[in-house]
Amino acid sequence: MNLSEYTRYDAIGLAQLVAAKEVSSEELVQAARSAIETVNPKINAVIEHWPAAEAGARASDGTGPLAGVPFLVKDLALSMQGKRLELGSRLARGLVAPADSWLMSRFRAAGLITIGRTTTPEFAFSTTTESALQGVTRNPWQPESSTGGSSGGAAAAVAAGIVPLAHATDAAGSIRIPAGYTGLFGLKPTRGRVSNGPALDEVFAGFGVQLGVSRSVRDSAALLDAVQGGATGEPYVTAAPERSFVSEVGRDPGTLRIGFMTDPWSGDRTDPAIVAATHSTIALLEDLGHEVHEATMDLGVSWEAFVDMNATIWTATLVGWIEALAAATGRPIDPTTLEPATLACFRYGSDRNASSFAGALVTRNTVTRAIGAWFERYDVLLTPTLGRMPPPIGTYSAGAEHMNGLEWTEHVFRHAPFTPPMNVAGVPAMSVPLEVHPESGLPIGVQFAAGFAREDMLLRLAGQLEAARPWAKRRPPIWAGA
């Protein structure tokens, strides 16, 4: 199978070829590795990959709709036995995972063939993927621009055709942000839908979840089917759906009551081209029979209080991770091992006390209740995924050396203000690549969120939108199948 053929298919399409014995998983892995060699030098999305034999590629692996498909895992949150897990940080350079995490075991059981690791910013606390350890990851649509973060390597790899889908994580938008910048579908599942265990539990007080990015809605749905469900000792467990998620993609969503916002809670103004793109999506939704109304979601607290709560929870959690890694590696916690923003967050988190963390959890509860109440009035929230187009490489962290942990958190959240509230509330949300910038042609993602455990509703809507305004034939200038 040549690269032109390989890149024409989504993951389910490739798995169907394997099941029909029209191609072997070994051939698919070889095609993926050829794709890495072709485009990765231009985008730096894959930091390590290994041969088919080492990946365990066999056509008989797994029985699900993704069996035999090449796959990449993010260098964060998920451990793969015998492979490095460095969290994008010099502090963790060279660390090797002793065992599979539960999610990795489920990826294996699904028959996915994991062939390598993708880049991430240090400890994922950034919405661009530019780290001192792994270098700059570039956007396949415009190499001088950011690919977003923190799942920027995963998104760049999928957008450039290396693999049809890849593992990604999301604690403040890290699935949806890079999906929005690279023209992909990115679904953040409900809190408790996918296990972070056993080494991790709730990740940033329940904000962090895992799934992936893909080029088709059905691929993300099939991935969620393969990995959803709790494990022993889970702090949060969300009940399994009545039907498979992939079966929802073709179902009629009915008439949905949709509330929309075009400007974020931060008080900033959204780029006019993105506002126009959002209104284009509104017109499409109305044509499809949905009821769409302007309706700002109340967070229950001020934006400043929202950011302060996140800063406390994020930075205090980072302290424990950083101290554990320093103890494991024998390395110092200083500028030789941590980037300026991370070191500032470590120092800020070290100064938080138990009462400030408990107060942050009270604020989290207020936000969760307010968002839950909003979804009693509306089925879906529509916003831009991001308020601005991707920043030029090298500009995002300017001045970070002069920021403290609260200021860095404010910087990160101001760059991507629409996504974090859905993590705090634990509700599902997705970025859908419906629009493009009229001048640059760059993708513009549109975010949809729904009430707790309503991925089924989102997937029905996403399938309807994908059929009405297909994006599968859009290709970036850096494309493995060119």
Q: Kindly list the catalytic residues.
A: 74, 150, 174
Cα–Cα distance, 166 to 117 (Å, whole number) = 10
User: Are the C-beta atoms of residues 143 and 125 closer than 8 Å to each other?
Assistant: no
Length of the chain as a residue count:
482
Among 69, 133, 155, 142, residue whose Cα is nearest residue 107:
69
Three-state SS string over the chain comes to CCHHHHCCCCHHHHHHHHHCCCCCHHHHHHHHHHHHHHHHHHHCCEEEECCHHHHCCCCCCCCCCCCCCEEEEECCCCCCCCCECCCCCHHHCCCECCCCCHHHHHHHHCCCEEEEEECCCHHHCCCCCEECCCEECEECCEEEEECCCCCHHHHHHHHCCCCCEEEEEECCCCCHHHHHHHCCEEEECCCCCECCCCCCCCHHHHCCEEEEEECCHHHHHHHHHHHEECCCCCCCCCCCCCCCHHHHCCCCCCCCEEEECCCCCCCCCCCHHHHHHHHHHHHHHHHCCCEEEECCCCCCCCHHHHHHHHHHHHHHHHHHHHHHHHHHHCCCCCCCCCCHHHHHHHHHHHHCCHHHHHHHHHHHHHHHHHHHHHCCCCCEEEEECCCCCCCECCCCCCCHHHCCHHHHHHHHHHHCCCCHHHHHHCCCEEEEEEEECCCCCCEEEEEEEECCCCHHHHHHHHHHHHHHCCCCCCCCCCCCCC
The pair of structure tokens assigned to 58 is 């066999």
